[in-house]
C-alpha cells in the first residue's frame, strides 16, 4: 500500500510573487496550495538478510532495495486564479514544468536495519 503524498499551503502576506515568470501581488495570489499523490500500490524489489524467527537472543536483520511509486499526480491552485485567467494559466504552466522535472523520479531507494532481542 502506498500512502505517500505531499501537501503544501501558503498564504502570502505582502510583496510580489513570481509564478512561471510572471509577477503577482499577494492579493492576486490569495492562498496557494499544491499536492502530489502517487498510485495506491508501490511494488518493492530488494534483498534481505536475517530471520527474526531463527537465531539466538540477538538477531540482526538488513534489507536494501527500491520501491516503484510511478509518476506523481501534481496539482497547483491559488484562490486568486478564479478571478485571474493569467494566474490560472501561469499555475497550469508551472504544474506542467514541475511534472516534467520530477517525471524521472519514479524509483526510490529503501534501506532497513533491524535489531531484535528475545527474552
Helix (H, G, I), strand (E, B) or coil at 31: coil
Given a cut of 90, whether residue 93 has pLDDT beyond it is yes
State the average pLDDT over residues 65-91. Answer: 90
The reported pLDDT for the residue numbered 107 is 93
Given a cut of 90, whether residue 43 has pLDDT beyond it is yes
Q: What are phi and psi of 88, to 5 degrees?
A: -60, -40
E strand or H helix that includes residue 64? strand 58-68
Strands 32-37 and 5-10: antiparallel
State the average pLDDT over residues 88-105. Answer: 90
Sign, CA dihedral 81-23-74-78, equals negative
The reported pLDDT for the residue numbered 92 is 93
The model carries a pTM of 0.69
Amino acid at each position: 500500500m502506498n500512502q505517500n503524498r505531499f501537501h503544501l499551503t501558503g498564504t502570502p502576506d505582502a510583496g510580489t510573487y513570481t509564478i512561471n515568470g510572471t509577477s503577482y501581488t499577494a492579493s492576486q495570489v490569495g492562498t496557494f496550495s499544491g499536492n502530489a499523490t502517487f498510485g495506491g500500490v508501490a511494488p518493492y524489489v530488494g534483498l534481505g538478510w536475517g530471520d527474526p524467527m531463527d537465531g539466538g537472543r540477538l538477531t540482526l536483520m538488513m534489507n536494501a532495495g527500491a520501491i516503484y511509486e510511478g509518476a506523481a499526480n501534481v496539482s497547483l491552485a491559488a484562490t486568486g486564479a478564479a478571478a485571474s485567467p493569467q494566474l490560472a494559466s501561469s499555475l497550469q504552466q508551472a504544474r506542467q514544468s514541475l511534472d516534467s522535472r520530477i517525471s524521472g523520479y519514479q524509483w526510490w531507494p529503501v534501506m532497513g536495519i533491524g535489531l531484535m532481542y528475545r527474552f
